[in-house]
């Protein structure tokens, strides 16, 4: 995925010298076996003082959103974002979301930023950061791949395809997507406790494999969660939803091939507003608290045959 991306190489000292209103720090990412340091830009939410960066580890607080960026800039620009190419690659990382209970959403996803308006011009969007997604949250649609939307009780991964674009502008996207969730797949797979395959009180590894078929189209997404010797996998070949089967995944092909921007966010709401993610097993009366953190580390990208979370 990231094997094909083009960006400026950022040394750790350069990232530390970046004085910017939007660059919060830098994170080391392993790309095709080589470690590179990428800027991390913050949009909205809590102040930069609440995020922490050390080597390949990135800790962020509830109510925040971040992007990888190619360069040190003092304000958001449409060309600043690092583009990642996921088709026929594996993305892996380690996540600690032990503080994020019911009503919370620790998310890592990719979108086809920057967003464009109907005149095919980059649009700063509602947050002035050129954000777009499949639910038009920022004011513009664009394809979205939810790598992880999760808390200690639920984990789901969801591709969101869009209708054909007019240039760079997408008139409509499928906000519901074609996803898979741990609770629906196996009741004992994921949760806080040693009776679960993945004990969410502790960090665990996640790897997503984006398989291309003989015709070069996306045909399957494997999500593999690993903790010690325990492994749980969800295989999405499009049959998990009634939206065209493998044709749905095929609609994601161009987006995964031509580049997406990685987004990290941590948010939550009243439990009744988050039941799309975690009810069941959560009770919708439980809401997400504010002063909590999540950490992601060991982000790697490589060929499907070799990349894994360690």
| Beta-sheet pairing, 190-191 with 180-181 | unpaired
pLDDT of residue 41: 95
Q: Which long-range contacts (CB under 8 A, 24 or more apart) does 243-249 make?
A: 243/174, 243/178, 246/219, 248/159, 248/161, 248/178, 249/159, 249/178, 249/217, 249/218, 249/219, 249/220, 249/221
Phi, psi of 249 (to 5 degrees): -65, -35
Q: List, for residues 223-260, the tens digit of each pLDDT value.
A: 999 999 999 999 999 887 878 778 999 999 999 999 99
Is it the case that residue 309 has pLDDT exceeding 50? Answer: no
Task: Name the residue among 251, 202, 281, 262 with its Cα closest to residue 39.
Answer: 262
Report residue 4's pLDDT band, with 50, 70 and 90 as the boundaries: very low
**Which run of H or of E encompasses 14?**
helix 12-16
Q: How confident is the model at residue 48 (pLDDT cuts 50, 70, 90)?
A: low
* Token output for 51: 């995020």
- Rounded distance, CA 124 to CA 130, Å? 4
Q: What pLDDT is stored for residue 263 in this prediction? A: 97
How high is the pLDDT of residue 44? 73
Only one residue has tokens 């991964």, namely: 157
Please choose, from the candidates 200, 153, 208, 202, the residue with its C-alpha nearest in 3D space to the C-alpha of residue 179.
208
* Average per-residue pLDDT for the chain: 90
- 102-132 residue pLDDT tens: 999 999 999 999 999 999 999 999 999 999 9
pLDDT over threshold 50, residue 14:
no
**DSSP 8-state secondary structure symbol assigned to residue 258:** H
Q: 178 to each of 183, 220, 293, 295, how far by Cα in Å? A: 16, 12, 28, 27
Query: Per-residue pLDDT tens for 154-172?
Result: 999 999 999 999 999 999 9
What is the pLDDT averaged over residues 274-281? 95
Q: Are strands 198-199 and 190-191 parallel, antiparallel or unpaired?
A: parallel
The single residue listed with the structure tokens 């069941």 is 280
Say if CB 104 and CB 218 are below 8 A apart: no
Average pLDDT (281-290) is 95
Statement: residue 211 has pLDDT above 70: yes
* pTM summary value: 0.92
């Amino acid at each position: 995925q990231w094997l094909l991306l083009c960006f400026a190489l950022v040394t750790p000292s350069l990232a530390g010298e970046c004085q910017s209103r939007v660059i919060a720090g830098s994170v080391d990412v392993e790309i095709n076996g080589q470690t590179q340091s990428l800027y991390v830009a913050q949009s909205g939410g809590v102040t930069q003082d609440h995020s922490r960066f050390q080597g390949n580890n990135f800790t962020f607080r509830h109510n925040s959103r971040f992007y990888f960026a190619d360069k040190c800039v003092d304000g958001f620009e449409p060309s600043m974002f690092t583009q990642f190419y996921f088709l026929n690659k594996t993305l892996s990382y380690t996540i600690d979301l032990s503080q994020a209970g019911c009503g919370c959403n620790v998310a890592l996803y990719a979108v086809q930023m920057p967003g464009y308006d109907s005149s095919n011009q980059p649009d700063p969007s509602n947050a002035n950061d050129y954000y777009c997604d499949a639910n038009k949250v920022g004011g513009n649609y664009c394809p979205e791949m939810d790598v992880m939307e999760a808390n200690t009780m639920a984990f789901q991964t969801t591709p969101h395809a869009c209708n054909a674009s007019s240039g760079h502008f997408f008139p409509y996207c499928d906000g519901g997507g074609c996803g898979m969730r741990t609770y629906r797949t196996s009741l004992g797979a994921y949760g806080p406790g040693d009776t679960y395959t993945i004990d969410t009180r502790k960090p665990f590894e996640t790897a997503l494999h984006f398989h291309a078929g003989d015709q070069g189209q996306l045909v399957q997404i494997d999500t593999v969660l690993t903790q010690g010797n325990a492994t749980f996998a969800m295989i999405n070949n499009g049959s998990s939803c009634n939206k065209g089967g493998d044709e749905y995944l095929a609609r994601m092909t161009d987006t995964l091939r031509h580049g997406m921007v990685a987004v990290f966010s941590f948010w939550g709401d009243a439990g009744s507003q988050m039941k799309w993610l975690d009810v069941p097993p959560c009770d919708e009366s439980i809401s997400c608290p504010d002063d909590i953190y999540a950490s992601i580390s060991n982000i790697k990208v490589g060929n499907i045959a070799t990349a894994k979370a360690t």
